[in-house]
Structure 1
Amino acid sequence: MSFSIEGKTAIVTGAANGVGLAIARHFVNKGANVIFADMDEEQLIKECGEAQDEGNVRYFAGDLRERLTMANLLSATLDAFDRVDILVNGSRQMMPSDPLDIEDDSVERMLGQNMTTALRMTQLVSKRMIKQAEGQEEGQVGAIVNLSSIAARRSHPSLLGYSVSCAALDQMTRSMAVVLAPERIRVNAVSFGSLMSASLKDTLREHADYRDDIEAHTPLGRIAGPRELAEAVQFLSSEAAGFVTGQIMTIDGGRTLLDPVAAPAH
């Protein structure tokens, strides 16, 4: 069974930088048509170039917390490539929380960004997938992959909002997998640990000792590279994973096999 996504059309949100950008670039390299979607238009232009009328790359800038923006993103995708086969919900927000501060709204904000936006995108795009598959009697209709975190299963006081939003995203993944299974649309998530993203690189420059801490709490003894996550997302998007749905694939070097509750997730 092939891992190929060549010729497929994918929307990748959160694609201006970090993990989302790594996945979008990887998909382009594997021959997919890719819409890079993010709020940061300046960074999107930097990464994608200003050309919008040729090749297999397009970008879309807008706040995907707004329903109209989501609809416009789907319309732009269809205008460019006529269909959508893959959705990667990679737009994520991570911020500290104060569990005892009643004025702290970080939980609501991260639930909105990390779970609700992904849910609404899933609802919107899956309807289009179902419509374009009318008359298609067999084969995969679509694949949706959510980006989650091992923080969903760990307890760290300053990550309350992030942990709660990731746990909610994991459950949404399972629920939508059941809902969309009769339509032959698969929904999965990738739950990752420490990944050498741009933000982690910045953190390690300021706190060099964090690297030792991360590696000490990771059985494989290193930090993952973005390509390792991108390849997992490619697998879940491809027909090679045709009988995989509702799963939370953990990519963490074995970190969740250990039990140091106080170890930060970085």
Structure 2
Amino acid sequence: MTGSPFDLDGKIALITGGGSGIGFGIAQCFVNSGARVLLIGQTESKLAAAVEQLGDSARYFVADVTNEAACRSAVDCCVDMFGGLDILINNAGNHLKKSLLETSQADVQSVLDVHVLAAFNLTRLALPALAEREGSVLFIASMASYLSIPQVIGYTAAKSAVLGLVRGTAAEAGPMGVRANAIAPGWISSAMTDAALNNDPPRKAKILSRTPLGGMGEPSDIGWAATYLSSRAAKFVTGQVLAVDGGAVSGF
């Protein structure tokens, strides 16, 4: 087999939440590695701007991933537009910062709907197309999947459930030739994250103090890890969660 085992030449990826942040960082690395990408999101202007930056290898589809019919349409659109599907990236997410006592059932449900149910639905609907090309699914977990972080009880519950999705999907999709893994990002620099932490110096100091490599990660750090897990270099890797966190999950 010719070419680098780490490249994605000829691969087709569907990336939810691909218009900005980690999703866009993954899209950039995929395109640079030879893949074509379909970005999914709710804000057309953001998606259009992302596609313009990515070039001819990228397209977008406006959809709410919590809507099952929209998920089905997104998968169908990708297959119709590019001729198949090799990689599904379940990256779309929302966030909620409230104390446990202030968090309502509706609050928790809104986070579960995006991080867990949408990822489950997209994976289920994409699996037949992925199986045709022995593709892979990548979920985005979190430090909250492992650490006791205050004020994010709903998010922590959702990102912990993502670990179960990885294991369950790997067990059932493996016999179909489809791999399932996840990345657990550490604290990644973005306009939103930087603004939030700059307004909360004690929280920022705590994050940096427990990150052995120091500083914040970049979206491309997640993008290159996703490239590896989606490439044939990882053809015997499934059911795993890779922490890309500067050592935070194991830091003191």
| Same fold by TM-score greater than 0.5 | yes
- Counterparts of 1:102 and 1:254 in 2: how far apart (Å)? 30
1:189 corresponds to which residue? 182
1:11 is matched with 14
Match of 2:194 among 176, 189, 201: 201
Taking the aligned partners of 1:98 and 1:206, their CA distance within structure 2 comes to: 19
Q: Alignment RMSD, CA only? A: 1.9
- SS for the counterpart of 1:169 is helix
Residue 254, structure 1, aligned to residue 247, structure 2: yes
Compute the displacement of 1:35 (Å). 0.2
| Shift of residue 171, structure 1, vs aligned partner | 0.9
C-alpha contact (below 8 Å) 1:215/1:222 kept by paired residues: yes
The 5-angstrom pairing of residues 31-180 of structure 1 reads 31-49=34-52, 55-101=56-102, 103-130=104-131, 132-133=132-133, 141-180=134-173
Question: Which deviates further from its counterpart, 206-215 or 91-100?
Answer: 206-215
What is the match of residue 25 of structure 1?
Answer: 28
Q: Does residue 242 in structure 1 map to residue 245 in structure 2?
A: no
Contact 1:98–1:104 (Cα < 8 Å) also in 2: no
Is the CA contact 1:97–1:107 (under 8 Å) kept in the aligned structure 2?
no
Identity of aligned residues (%): 29
Task: Name the structure 2 match of 1:228.
Answer: 221
Structure 2-normalised TM-score?
A: 0.93
Q: Distance in 2 between matches of 1:29 and 1:258?
A: 32
Distance 1:146 1:40, change over 3 A: same
Structure 1 segments unaligned to the other structure (5+ residues): 134-140, 260-266
Name which of structure 1's ranges 204-213 and 24-33 shifts more when overlaid on structure 2. Answer: 204-213
Secondary structure in 2 aligned to 1:196?
A: coil
- 2:222 maps to a residue whose letter is L
Secondary structure in 2 matching 1:49:
helix
Q: d(CA) in 1 for partners of 2:52 and 2:186?
A: 31
Mind listing any 5+ residue stretches in structure 2 that lack a counterpart?
none
In structure 2, what residue type is equivalent to 1:7?
G
Distance in 2 (CA, whole Å) between partners of 1:257 and 1:173 is: 21
